[in-house]
Structure 1
Amino acid sequence: MQFLESLKKEPVKFIVFTFLLTILIGGTLLIFPFSSSSHRWTNPLDAYFTATSATCVTGLVVKDTGTYYSIFGQIVILFLIQIGGLGYMTMFTFLALLLGRRIPLLDRLALKESLNYFSVSGIIKLARRIFFTVLIFEGLGAISLFTVFYHKYGIIKGIWFGIFHSVSAFCNAGFDLIGGFRSFTQFTGNITLNLTVMLLIVFGGIGFPVISEIIDYPNRKKFSLHARVVFKTTIFLIVLGAFLFFLFESKNPFTLKSLPMKEKILSSFFQSITPRTAGFSTITTGKLRLPTLMFLASFMFIGASPGGTGGGIKTTTIVVLFETLFQTIKGSNETIIEERTIERSFVRKAFIIFFASIVLVGFSTLVLSITEVFDLSKILFEVFSAFGTVGLSTGITPLLSPIGKLTIMFTMFTGRVGILTILTIITTKKLKRISLPEEKIMVG
């Protein structure tokens, strides 16, 4: 306990430690025979790979979740997804509030870092709201998905499948219980499942602070700059992604060509939303054309929005980068978004995140190109999927070498806790913050 209290004085290190501890406990439980359906011991590396993927809400798997793991193992994975999606500090804070405990300042600072929030002010209210929001979204999602799975799997399995996939979708995890590494490919034309999963992914990915603003909108009648940027960027990427997917795959006989027009459009929107960090698929990823894989990889690199359940460099980061480049070309030294000047410290942070992420992806790709025998395009796609905590794969994940698995584990972990978090820990000197305030926007 004294060790944990000392860690809380350094919130960034505390967050990393809690993620590592969660992975350690979850992975250890998955090793034991009672976690597998065959009642056999699981290879420790495979167990910890699964625990890392679940805690980092990624979805890359080396063992098929639906067939390899027992009910107990699946429950362990579900808890890891929920903890990874909500964050340890959010769950701890809500539990403390239920017990009537006062939340000390150190815990509030750790919670602020965990949620990538602006300040400590209002952080407890946000944590409470997050918990109830998650329950509502995941509850409604489970009910909706139950109506789909009930007809195919019966009541008991339908309930379990509804709960598991609702949590997995809202937390942008991408884990599924369908079996055979198929994800939702047999539900391509099911409108209920497609719309439910897409909505859960989007709301889980836009970030809890934005959801909080949506709840407060009837009283405030306006959104912050951050929320407006998130809304516009999210909608733009969804529409652009759907258009490109339809354009590249409509003539592909292995994906969209044989589908009715309604299913082509539905699948295009689903595959546009899911690579932004969720990892579900209604089209077999391994059969996609190379141009499609490349644009999906760029979407995975961008990822979700700050304060949400996804990874990547974040939507707001890419907006700040493009606006800065655009303003520089025009001869301006400022970054202006919607007639608001963005603090230079946030701009500098965005560039650090972008270039550090490029270095990480490049390093991981280099390692895998040495240790694995797959095409570079498949390796690159796998690395982007791990960094963006997405979970889409062309099918090479179970075939990775031990070094390859460890590399992907490190990439998933860094993608989830944040490249800036890792850099903060390994560097001894902190950058000074330059305050040129007009309005703030979260990045990373």
Structure 2
Amino acid sequence: MKRGADIRAQQKFRLKPTQTIILSFVLMIGLGTFLLTLPVSTVSGEGLPTMDALFVSTSASCVTGLTVVDAKNELSFFGKCVLLMLIQVGGLGIMTLATMAAHTMGYRFQLKQSLILQESLNQSGRAGLFDLIRRMILYTLAIEGFFALVLTCHFYPEFGWWQALGYGIFHAVSAFCNAGFDLFGNYDSLCGRPDDIFLLAGIGLPIILGGIGFTVIYDVLHCKSWRKYSLHTKIVLVSNTLLLVLGTALIFAVETGNDKTIGTMPVGQQVAHAAFMSISCRTAGFNSFDLAQSMQITQLVMIILMFIGASPLSTGGGIKSTTFFVILRSVWAVFRGESELTVFGRAISKDLRDQAFAIFTIGTIWVVSIGMILSALDGEVHDLEEVIFETVSAFGTVGMGIGITLNWNDWGKGLLALTMLLGRVGIMTFLLAFIKQKNSTIKHPEENIMIG
């Protein structure tokens, strides 16, 4: 009897895979907070205030980029290393790195541990999990290493080899992990380098590669023709291309007449900046012109792009490009009266469609609700559009701001930190950690209601 009671007690307090994933991020954020409060982490030798350290640690661990600290001028070399570590681990996921380390040392995973890993990688089955993790790490090291070398050579004339190497590594990791942290100081991101188109390319390309997802990179490298790509890869490539082109066109069309942003630049340079901002505002957070000086239409376009975010199994957040694609295709199918939702000759299941609409709905409700709460905490000092921009930036783990991040009180920073965590782990993972699912076999009678 006692043994049976012990087993029931263990089952009652056993963490679900989704809870374990969130707990791993919470522990990483806690460790980062502790390290950033140490005197050795800041130039002043006083350490960051606890809430500021928590906010920055959450932002780095969730690869967001919103910050209340000037990384260049306020953090010491040790503090910058802590920030870089949090970005790298947060981009890949602590479960991924821990699993690979244990697997390398010969540890054999039990069923429950495999389920946790499967959940963290958003995979439907356990087959090939370790191969996927190995590819993720190899791709990360290769891409970050290549762009770190490119950026180091680019920074060398300005900084010299050692500082250029540090800048190259930091910005390559921050770009590929879609984090948006930089070392240029004064919260300016890339705004102080409007003529450096090479830098925009050197940061923009790893942002794209980090945002499309590791499975897509694998397909592109190993499947030499479009016909052999998986449906997921096709949808990601099409949706990301369309969002990039439309975002670039809209930002260019609106800002080309704005002398406070890109209006005074040559046309080619204007297009480059518009393209970079279209790429970056999806989930990275680097900005090449002052968003506070941009037009409201541009800010609205960016809010939409930030909300959509990157692609599944990537280093970015948001509701994901595939979710947005399925929603649009489903709406079109309803108007056309299609009985089956097909994309590139393949059918999308009803469960996936329901999940896409659930993610979109919950994400919208969360952003609007947190935005209203933050506006109330702010005392309506800032426009609601600015507050919503900040909230969506946190939810999409983007990190772009319109200059109000430094003004939040501790409650505001806490809500934004929670929003960053939700955006990084995913809405479904976050909610399923606290909601008990039930499988019912009972069928109820249907009855129509009036809608629309």
Per the TM superposition, whether the score is higher than 0.5 is yes
Counterpart of 2:425 in structure 1 is 417
Task: Give, as a single letter, the amino acid of the residue that structure 2 aligns with 1:376.
Answer: L
Counterpart of 2:362 in structure 1 is 356
Aligned residues of 2:115 and 2:126 also touching (Cα < 8 A): yes
Aligned residues of 2:317 and 2:398 also touching (Cα < 8 A): yes
User: Is the aligned partner of 1:135 residue 2:141?
Assistant: yes
User: Is the aligned partner of 1:39 residue 2:64?
Assistant: no
Counterpart of 2:6 in structure 1 is none
- Name the CA distance, whole Å, in 2 between partners of 1:377 and 1:406: 20
Counterpart of 1:175 in structure 2 is 181
- Name the CA distance, whole Å, in 2 between partners of 1:108 and 1:364: 34
Name the Cα RMSD after superposition.
Answer: 2.0
Task: Give, as a single letter, the amino acid of the residue that structure 2 aligns with 1:294.
Answer: L
User: Is the aligned partner of 1:402 residue 2:410?
Assistant: yes
Task: Provide structure 1 residue ranges, at least 5 long, that are not aligned to the other structure.
Answer: 434-444
* Alignment partner of 2:197 out of 182, 186, 191: 191
Counterpart of 1:240 in structure 2 is 246
Deviation at 1:192, TM superposition (A): 2.4
Identical pairs, percent = 39
* Alignment partner of 1:122 out of 125, 128, 132: 128
User: Is the aligned partner of 1:146 residue 2:148?
Assistant: no
Aligned residues of 2:16 and 2:433 also touching (Cα < 8 A): no
- Name the CA distance, whole Å, in 2 between partners of 1:319 and 1:243: 19
Alignment CA distance shift 1:113-1:43 (3 Å): same
Deviation at 1:219, TM superposition (A): 9.6
* Alignment partner of 1:11 out of 13, 17, 30: 17
Deviation at 1:371, TM superposition (A): 0.9
- Name the CA distance, whole Å, in 1 between partners of 2:323 and 2:225: 29
Deviates more, 1:89-98 or 1:278-287: 89-98
Deviation at 1:97, TM superposition (A): 3.0
Q: Partner of 2:433: helix, strand, or coil?
A: helix
Aligned residues of 1:33 and 1:40 also touching (Cα < 8 A): yes
Counterpart of 1:329 in structure 2 is 335
Alignment CA distance shift 1:173-1:8 (3 Å): farther
Counterpart of 2:448 in structure 1 is none
Deviation at 1:305, TM superposition (A): 0.3
- Name the CA distance, whole Å, in 2 between partners of 1:56 and 1:431: 32
Aligned residues of 1:8 and 1:107 also touching (Cα < 8 A): no
Counterpart of 1:385 in structure 2 is 393
TM-score relative to the length of structure 1: 0.93
- Name the CA distance, whole Å, in 2 between partners of 1:356 and 1:377: 20
- Name the CA distance, whole Å, in 2 between partners of 1:101 and 1:209: 25
Task: Provide structure 2 residue ranges, at least 5 long, that are not aligned to the other structure.
Answer: 1-8, 442-452
Alignment CA distance shift 1:118-1:212 (3 Å): farther
Deviation at 1:410, TM superposition (A): 1.0
Deviation at 1:330, TM superposition (A): 1.5
- Name the CA distance, whole Å, in 2 between partners of 1:221 and 1:97: 34
Q: Partner of 1:187: helix, strand, or coil?
A: coil
Aligned residues of 2:118 and 2:125 also touching (Cα < 8 A): yes
Deviation at 1:273, TM superposition (A): 0.2
Alignment CA distance shift 1:396-1:110 (3 Å): same
Counterpart of 1:276 in structure 2 is 282
Counterpart of 2:444 in structure 1 is none
Alignment CA distance shift 1:212-1:109 (3 Å): farther
TM-score relative to the length of structure 2: 0.92
Q: Partner of 2:179: helix, strand, or coil?
A: coil
- Name the CA distance, whole Å, in 1 between partners of 2:166 and 2:110: 37
Aligned residues of 1:176 and 1:183 also touching (Cα < 8 A): yes
Deviation at 1:66, TM superposition (A): 1.2
